[in-house]
Amino acid sequence: MTSHTAKHSEHPDLAQRYAAIRQRLHELGGDGVRLLAVSKKKSAAEIAQLADLGQRAFGENYLQEALPKIVELGERKLEWHFIGRLQSNKCAEVAAHFDWCQSVDRMRLVNALASRRDPAQGPLQVLLQVNVDGEQGKGGAVPSEVVDLAGAVAAAPTLRLRGLMAIPEPSPDLRVREAAFARLAALFADLRSDHPQIDTLSMGMSDDYPTAIAQGSTMIRIGTALFGPRAR
């Protein structure tokens, strides 16, 4: 028995939370919405337990934390998404070890990922991160940059443009986040006129995913509501 299988009993609430989120998605009419389990700061054991329950896609923010988990769980053929702030010097390892990158927001990153992805792996699935609020110091392209970035991704043989991602400003007023989701959905709709193959609008997290789904999200990124509060 592997170590991560042996530890499943240490996380008895995980199955209950997973079932509750699946049920809530059904109630929201979101059965077609993809659930990305945000597993930063969580162990390979917890990821393995979720995988045994049927969860396939996992999101990681920190490359050096993610790589050992990807290696340990490699035989499970999980789908790994890089969702953290991306720097050029991390692109080679992201391109080599992840299936998706959701945080592409600069032309330099497009070029770095494209040149470092091994064609034998198949294309890296790419979402463009958009700063829909104009929030200072936050990652994400401004909306006016999206068309050019999308064109560059679509033209790269080792990349595949899938859509857009955003992390709205964490306002306590859900109406503020709802407006941000609506802006991203409108941008996505506009982008589809030039790139009809795009199919992914990644928006919504533990405290606002019902609002995001109402605005057209096709992928929600859930950490706390699934794994419980993270240790600081």
CATH number at residue 60: 3.20.20.10
56-103 confidence digits (pLDDT tens): 999 999 999 999 999 999 999 999 999 999 999 999 999 999 999 999
* Domain presence at residue 79: yes
Helix and strand totals (H; E) in the chain:
10, 8
How high is the pLDDT of residue 12? 75
Question: Under a CB-based contact definition with an 8 Å cutoff, are residues 126 and 101 in contact?
Answer: yes
How high is the pLDDT of residue 10? 63
- Residue 85's CB is within 10 A of a number of other CB atoms, namely 14
**Which residues of the chain are under the pLDDT cut of 70?**
1-10, 230-232
* Domain presence at residue 6: no
How high is the pLDDT of residue 117? 98
Domain count of the chain? 1
How high is the pLDDT of residue 8? 45
Phi/psi-derived region of residue 78, left when phi > 0, alpha when psi is between -120 and 50, beta in every other case: beta
Helix (H) or strand (E) holding 224: helix 224-227
Q: Tell me the residue range of the domain where 142 lies.
A: 12-227
What is the Cα–Cα distance from 111 to 202, expressed in whole angstroms?
22
Question: Under a CB-based contact definition with an 8 Å cutoff, are residues 104 and 82 in contact?
Answer: no
* Domain presence at residue 84: yes
* Domain presence at residue 17: yes
